[in-house]
């Protein structure tokens, strides 16, 4: 009986895969198809919807960058011990892991926009708890809440963008997610030197516009009267934006809301655009998937879905276990250990990652996902090797005058390479490869693995550096070399295909 059901399921899936794969081959050979007409409109609503969604990405970055510039001020004002502040800093990741576990079910039940609203509300509550905190408990509760919001944002934002975007823009628009995370971290680093930790918390949830407004108020000596307004105005824009943009058409189709699905897709593609081909393709694929049994968590590892799960989870392992969070959280200490100015190095680091991430967004739909991952991985290996050589020379007191230059070059090459591909592309691919009937469960699993890797890397970094400074970077170089091998052998190219074509080709 089980064999018969598997055969029937395989036949059902093949019925939809064959035309999808054939359509993709036709496009690859330059044959015109009906879908070309559907891409003739101007996708201004797609751009606007992406802008609203990546406000969550900016909030993600603001959360991640908050603790670094505020440590001394918070400890002094609230008389926290180092252990208490360490709990405050690290509990963010545990909140994110909880958010990762619940992000898929929330996005499947309430919709992508509903999940964004939930995440934004929890983040706002968390920031307010930090702002009014008078002791360690309120700080930790607020930090846990903002971490939860980060965990939900990290899954929902790229998935929402991927589901609303046409295939020729999907890679670049999804990469804007990582760009805005970098912007949030960098802005938090910079304005954290100007604003008090409480005010920085008040602005943490809001967009770049709020930061500009605050600086204007400071310059005009009106800050005390306008600091609340500086937070409320961008927050109102974010909440209003979620009411103005359409829901993911694919989620609406999965929920059986056919009329809402067509309205949303038409709004995204343009009122004069023929969406019949794209709508039929989405509906046919979802109808086929809905005929299959609803998978449970362990069934994600069955043959039907195993390859997509391996790709999605494997890329998250490659991204996090290559050392990024250790390098990111302890950049200043790394530069100081190498004998270089911590402040200059950190500012250069912050600016570089924003520039290179922006360049990656430009090239991802031209060069493709896989080439960017391979170039990124190669740069990560080289950057780790340069840093390892620098610390080896320092430990053995050889050519000490070359140590700072080698270390800075290695670290900056590392962060530039990560920003070029390994930072953004795994999230892009994760948002593309999972069929919509398993996207909630599989996406939650991949996001959970990502956040667990982030915690493990940041937790073990100081221990590894105490064991061996150059050995730490040699270990990261080896892991990144294995990541190159994984990308070469396992990860497919998804550029230029619809989500249905990608998923039909992978899950066969």
Q: With the C-alpha atoms ordered 318, 322, 323, 327, is the resulting torsion angle positive or negative?
A: negative
**Percentage with pLDDT > 90 across the chain:** 29
CB within 8 A of 208, min separation 6: which ones? 58, 183, 187
Please state whether 235 falls in left (phi above 0), alpha (psi between -120 and 50) or beta.
Answer: alpha
**Contact at 8 Å (CB) between 162 and 499?**
yes
pLDDT of 239 over the 50 cut: yes
pLDDT of 20 over the 60 cut: no
More confident of the two residues 368 and 27: 368
pLDDT bracket for residue 216 (50, 70, 90): low
pLDDT of 92 over the 90 cut: no
Residue bearing tokens 């680093």: 189
**Contact at 8 Å (CB) between 172 and 365?**
yes
The Cα 89–Cα 144 span in angstroms is 10
Rounded to the nearest 10°, the torsion over CA 437, 440, 443, 446 is: -110
Specify the pLDDT at position 127: 85
Whole-prediction pTM value? 0.77
Helix 403-417 vs helix 369-395: crossing angle, to nearest 10: 160
Mean pLDDT, the chain, whole residue set:
80
Q: Which of 219-228, 267-276, 412-421, 499-508 has the lowest mean pLDDT?
A: 219-228
Quickly count: other Cβ atoms within 10 Å of residue 363's Cβ.
17
pLDDT of 332 over the 80 cut: no
In this prediction, residues 312-337 reach a mean pLDDT of: 84
pLDDT bracket for residue 251 (50, 70, 90): very high
The Cα 407–Cα 391 span in angstroms is 7
Which token pair is 34? Answer: 């009906």
pLDDT of 497 over the 60 cut: yes
More confident of the two residues 173 and 89: 173
The Cα 275–Cα 265 span in angstroms is 7
């Amino acid at each position: 009986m089980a064999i018969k059901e598997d055969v029937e399921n395989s036949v059902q899936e093949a019925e939809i895969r064959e035309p999808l794969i054939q359509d993709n081959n036709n496009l690859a050979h330059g044959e015109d198809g009906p879908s070309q007409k559907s891409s003739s409109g101007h996708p201004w609503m797609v751009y606007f919807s992406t802008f609203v969604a990546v406000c969550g990405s900016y909030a993600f970055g603001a959360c991640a960058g908050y603790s670094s510039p505020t440590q001394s001020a918070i400890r002094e004002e609230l008389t926290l011990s180092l252990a208490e502040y360490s709990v405050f800093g690290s509990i963010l990741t545990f909140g994110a892991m909880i958010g990762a576990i619940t992000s898929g079910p929330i996005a499947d039940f309430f919709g992508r926009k509903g999940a964004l609203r939930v995440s934004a509300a929890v983040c706002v509550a968390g920031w307010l708890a930090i702002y009014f905190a008078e002791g360690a408990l309120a700080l930790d509760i607020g930090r846990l809440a903002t971490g939860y919001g980060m965990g939900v944002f990290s899954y929902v934002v790229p998935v929402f963008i991927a589901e609303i975007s046409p295939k020729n823009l999907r890679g670049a628009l999804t990469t804007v997610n990582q760009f805005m995370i970098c912007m949030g971290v960098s802005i938090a680093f910079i304005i954290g030197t100007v604003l008090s930790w409480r005010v920085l918390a008040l602005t943490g949830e809001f967009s770049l516009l709020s930061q500009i407004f605050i600086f204007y108020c400071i310059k005009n000596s009106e800050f005390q009267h306008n600091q609340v307004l500086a937070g409320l105005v961008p927050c109102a824009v974010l909440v209003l934006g979620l009411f103005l943009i359409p829901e993911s058409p694919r989620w609406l189709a999965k929920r059986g809301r056919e009329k809402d699905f067509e309205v949303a897709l038409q709004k995204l593609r343009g009122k004069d655009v023929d969406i019949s081909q794209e709508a039929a393709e989405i509906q046919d694929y979802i109808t086929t998937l809905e005929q299959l049994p609803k998978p449970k968590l362990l069934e994600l590892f069955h043959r039907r879905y195993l390859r997509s799960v391996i790709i999605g989870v494997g890329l998250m392992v490659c991204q996090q276990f290559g050392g990024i969070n250790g390098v990111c959280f302890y950049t200043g200490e790394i530069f100081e250990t190498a004998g270089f100015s911590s402040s200059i190095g950190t500012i250069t680091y912050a600016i570089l990652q924003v520039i290179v991430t922006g360049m990656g967004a430009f090239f991802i739909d031209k060069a493709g996902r896989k080439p960017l991952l391979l170039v990124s991985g190669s740069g990560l290996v080289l950057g780790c090797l340069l840093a390892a050589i620098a610390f080896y020379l320092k430990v053995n007191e050889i050519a000490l005058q070359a140590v700072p230059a080698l270390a800075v070059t290695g670290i900056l090459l590392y962060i530039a390479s990560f920003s070029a591909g390994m930072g953004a592309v795994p999230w892009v691919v994760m948002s593309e490869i999972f069929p919509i009937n398993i996207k909630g469960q599989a996406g939650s699993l991949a996001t959970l693995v990502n956040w667990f890797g982030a915690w493990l890397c940041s937790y073990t970094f100081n221990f590894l550096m105490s064991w061996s400074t150059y050995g730490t970077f040699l270990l990261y170089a080896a892991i990144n070399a294995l990541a190159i091998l994984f990308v070469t052998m396992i990860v497919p190219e998804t550029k230029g295909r619809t989500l249905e074509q990608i998923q039909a080709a992978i899950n066969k």
